[in-house]
Amino acid sequence: MVYKNIICPVCGAACDDVQVDLDTINRTIDVQNACKMGNAKFQEVVSSHRIVRPTIRENGKVKDVSWDEALEMAADILVKSRRPLFFLGSETSCEAQEVGLHIAEYLGGVADSNATICHGPTVMGIQESGMVGATAGQTKNRADMIVYWGVNALESMPRHMSRYGVFPRGYWTKRGRFDRTLITVDPRRTPTATASDLHLQINPNTDYELLSALFTILNGKEPHTSIEDITGIPISVMKQMVEMMKESNYVGIFVGLGVSSSYGKHRNIEMALNFVKEMNNYTKCNIGALRGHCNVAGFNQLASYLYGYPFGVDFMKGYPRYNPGETTTVDLLREKDVDAAFVMSADLVNHIPADSAKYLTEIPMICLDIAPCPSTTAADVVLPGVIDAMECDGTFYRLDNVPVHFEPFTDSPFPETKSNEETLKMLFEKVKAKKEA
Amino acid sequence: MAVVTLKPTGNFDLTVEAEVITPDNFAGKSAQEIGQLLVWQGPKQYPLANYFEVKGDGADTTEETTITIDGDVSRVKRIGEGMTAGKVLVKGSTGMHAGAEMVGGEIIIEGDTDSWAGMEMKGGLLHIKGNTKDHLGSAYRGSWHGMTGGRIVVDGDAVNQVGGGMSGGEIVIGGSVKHFCGIRINGGLIVVKGDAFRTVGAEMTGGTIVVGGTIERFTPGFIQEDTESDIKFDDIECTGEYKKFTGDYAIPQKGKGTMYVSSVNNECL
């Protein structure tokens, strides 16, 4: 049967026009409109390697158990822990993350999400400076200049350029690509850079210096000449870029991890945001981040409105505290400052520095995921995951922080649970029962 | 002068938050009462005596109370936080937030400290004889005002964001710094005797920064005004010839910040 307008649960674009043809008898799925990454995830619905049974590790051996036994053991680990870490990954719904946050609060643990190893610095930069933002549709309809900074959109978010950034015909950009100027700032000559009108090939880790120089030019001053050697960009080209931006009607800047995870981190973003604010004295200009996962923005929104902080929320003292570098996943694991972990919908072991990953494999870990990965291999309890946007409904926040409600096209394969949210609610009940006993 | 000695004896497997270790809290208490003060480890509170052997009673007043920590407390955070008077001597290294928000008195740390030492400090002296990490004397996340008074002396190196958002007081670093030394400062003085890697004085709108060593990557929004020799700020003397810059013109302010950079070590600027 063919289903239309399915939301794609992969990258931050959370495309809403995917069409799937699911053959439940032959267990095949045909996907239209999605990119390669999206297609690969849709194939998980019918894949042979899907985690279908809960497992626990007993005396070093992994064995299949019932859902109830697995949840019991998971609850035991969490209740016995003196300071558990909840890594609430972003390829699941806000509804599931919310339950996870509440368990963390109840146990006095720490709740964190993918932003901590991804666009966390972007969020911190926004806290420092505020952000002139816009929805993706605004940029599509109005922007006649697009700047990709530290991001290779063509490969990391393949449909961004065609849906929002460069090629679509917008209301005031009726000729699509011909009505837009494209600038890329990237140390590498990426496919995105090749497709650009101007490519500033900066030296790695000099984003702050370049932004600072552009800002100085915008303020009518001459940047110090040493900037040419530092960034590898002539001052004349910087001036050209500022002029091109000032002469545009609407500039949309998209930043990637090249800005937020190179030297300077949130300071780079803060400077970019301040530059954008000032640029609005000359023309309309906004900035947005190309977020990596379908709901990575959702955790930031959720944690902010529930507890006041976007990620790395520490409930140790009974009230939320936040200090990236102290209450964030990598740092807590490196400092051995947690003694158990609950990892949901994220392969944490595979994505953090070796020291932190090593400690994570040494402490009791519960993993909720759809497919085998290093994290599930190292986990003491594995709970099978339900695939959001395919097997259950819920909410994602897209890259531009727009909430997107998604509907499933098939059901959860597990009679015991309808969604990750329900799995977490069952776990929370068991945790409460054990804690209060 | 009464000395209370704390000797670490407990299990510090999870870090301990001990903001109670200040002369203010110890004054007027016996050793036993001090041992009953509560510290945090994870989401629970335990008596200080679980972690330290306490010897000596506190003096009647905060001013006359000295705390000596006889050992390494690198997994104990917030020592001396918010203290107003008295003295803390640590014969080892400390964890994060040592002397954060301190108002007066003196902290001497013979080893290293972790990040956030002297955060938003208002007065007093914090002397770190070893090295420290990030956010020395800086503002808390999202805050615009770092240190407003007092003095921080580091004999070794500091890393990133030294004195971020600082608006008063002095920071003197004997060694070198890395990134964003003096970011967003609007007052006060930072003296770095060693080298700085990059972005010194970024977004500064006031205050003074002196770098005695080499700056590997100069911040672009600064303009050279003058050259001065043997500059002096009260009791802090910086000998040699310095290039005087003003800035940071990257932000729409008037460039009221002053940066002195050693001429000998930065010939290319």
- When CB atoms are compared, the residue of A221, A316, A324 closest to B249 is A221
Number of domains in chain B: 1
Asked whether residue B8 is assigned to any structural domain, the reply reads no
Say if the Cβ atoms of A337 and B15 lie within 8 Å: yes
User: Domain span at residue B200?
Assistant: 115-262
Give B140's contacts in chain A (Cβ within 8 Å).
Answer: 323
Asked whether residue B205 is assigned to any structural domain, the reply reads yes
* Domains, in order of start, for chain A: 52-117+294-436 (3.40.50.740), 120-289 (3.40.228.10)
Within an 8 Å CB–CB cutoff, is residue B219 touching chain A?
A: yes
Interface TM-score (ipTM) > 0.90: yes
Residue A294 · residue A205 · CB < 8 Å: no
Q: What is the pLDDT of residues A193-218, one digit of tens each?
A: 999 999 999 999 999 999 999 999 99
Amino acid sitting at position A371: A
A120: buried, middle or exposed (CB in 10 Å: 19+, 13-18, 0-12)? Answer: buried
Q: Which residues contact B167 (CB under 8 A, 6 or more apart)?
A: B145, B146, B147, B148, B185, B186, B187, B188, B206, B207
Q: What is the pLDDT of residues A301-353, one digit of tens each?
A: 999 999 999 999 999 999 999 999 999 999 999 999 999 999 999 999 999 99
Confidence bin at B252 (pLDDT 50/70/90): confident
Q: Which residues contact B48 (CB under 8 A, 6 or more apart)?
A: B6, B18, B20, B21, B34, B35, B36, B37, B38, B39, B54
| Predicted confidence (pLDDT) at residue B254 exceeds the cutoff of 90 | no
Longest Cα separation, chain B: 62
Q: Report d(CA B74, CA A241) in Å as an integer.
A: 48
Q: What is the pLDDT of residues B119-173, one digit of tens each?
A: 999 999 999 999 999 999 999 998 889 999 999 999 999 999 999 999 999 999 9
Instruction: Give the whole-number percent of chain A exceeding pLDDT 90.
Output: 98
B80 Cα to chain A: minimum distance (Å): 18
Asked whether residue B21 is assigned to any structural domain, the reply reads no
Amino acid sitting at position A366: I
Taking alpha carbons only, the member of A410, A406, A356, A306 closest to residue A117 is: A356
Asked whether residue B179 is assigned to any structural domain, the reply reads yes
Task: For residue B126, give the H/E element and its range.
Answer: strand B125-128
Tokens 């530290």 correspond to what residue?
A: A150
Tokens 């203010």 correspond to what residue?
A: B24
Within an 8 Å CB–CB cutoff, is residue B43 touching chain A?
A: yes
Query: Encoding tokens for residue A370?
Result: 């759809």
Say if the Cβ atoms of B250 and A224 lie within 8 Å: no
Helix (H, G, I), strand (E, B) or coil at B206: strand
Q: Report d(CA B135, CA B35) in Å as an integer.
A: 31
Say if the Cβ atoms of A339 and B183 lie within 8 Å: no
Predicted confidence at residue A273, as pLDDT, reads 96
Report the residue of chain B nearest A231, measured CA to CA. Answer: B217
A329 Cα to chain B: minimum distance (Å): 15
Asked whether residue B165 is assigned to any structural domain, the reply reads yes
Q: Report d(CA A240, CA A223) in Å as an integer.
A: 14
Report the residue of chain B nearest A318, measured CA to CA. Answer: B43
- When CB atoms are compared, the residue of A267, A322, A324 closest to B180 is A267
Say if the Cβ atoms of B217 and A325 lie within 8 Å: no
**Is the backbone peptide bond immediately before A411 cis, with ω within 30 degrees of 0?**
no
- Which residues 73-132 of B are in CB contact (within 8 Å) with A? 96, 115-116
Q: What is the pLDDT of residues B214-240, one digit of tens each?
A: 999 999 999 999 999 999 999 999 999
Asked whether residue B166 is assigned to any structural domain, the reply reads yes
Residue A123 · residue A296 · CB < 8 Å: no
Within an 8 Å CB–CB cutoff, is residue B254 touching chain A?
A: no
Say if the Cβ atoms of B199 and A208 lie within 8 Å: yes
Say if the Cβ atoms of B179 and A212 lie within 8 Å: no
- When CB atoms are compared, the residue of A108, A263, A337 closest to B179 is A263
Per-residue pLDDT, averaged over A394-406, amounts to 95
Taking alpha carbons only, the member of A286, A218, A277, A331 closest to residue B249 is: A218
- When CB atoms are compared, the residue of A82, A212, A324 closest to B220 is A212
Predicted confidence at residue B144, as pLDDT, reads 87
A228 Cα to chain B: minimum distance (Å): 10
What's phi and psi for B54, nearest 5 deg? -100, 125
Q: Report d(CA A281, CA B159) in Å as an integer.
A: 36
Amino acid sitting at position B5: T
Predicted confidence at residue B269, as pLDDT, reads 86
Query: Encoding tokens for residue A353?
Result: 């520095």
- When CB atoms are compared, the residue of B142, B198, B202 closest to A127 is B142
Say if the Cβ atoms of B141 and A127 lie within 8 Å: yes
Q: Which residues contact B89 (CB under 8 A, 6 or more apart)?
A: B66, B67, B68, B69, B107, B108, B110
Asked whether residue B125 is assigned to any structural domain, the reply reads yes
Give A325's contacts in chain B (Cβ within 8 Å).
Answer: 115, 134
Asked whether residue B194 is assigned to any structural domain, the reply reads yes
Mutate to test the interface with A, among B78, B251, B253, B254 (most CBs of A within 10 A): B251
Instruction: Give the whole-number percent of chain B exceeding pLDDT 70.
Output: 100
Within an 8 Å CB–CB cutoff, is residue B26 touching chain A?
A: no
Distance of CA A354 to the CA centre of its chain: 21
Confidence bin at A386 (pLDDT 50/70/90): very high
Residue A358 has a CB neighbour count (10 Å cut-off) of 14
Q: What residues are paired with A86 via a beta bridge? A: A111, A342
Give B41's contacts in chain A (Cβ within 8 Å).
Answer: 82
Say if the Cβ atoms of B217 and A226 lie within 8 Å: yes
Global confidence as pTM: 0.96
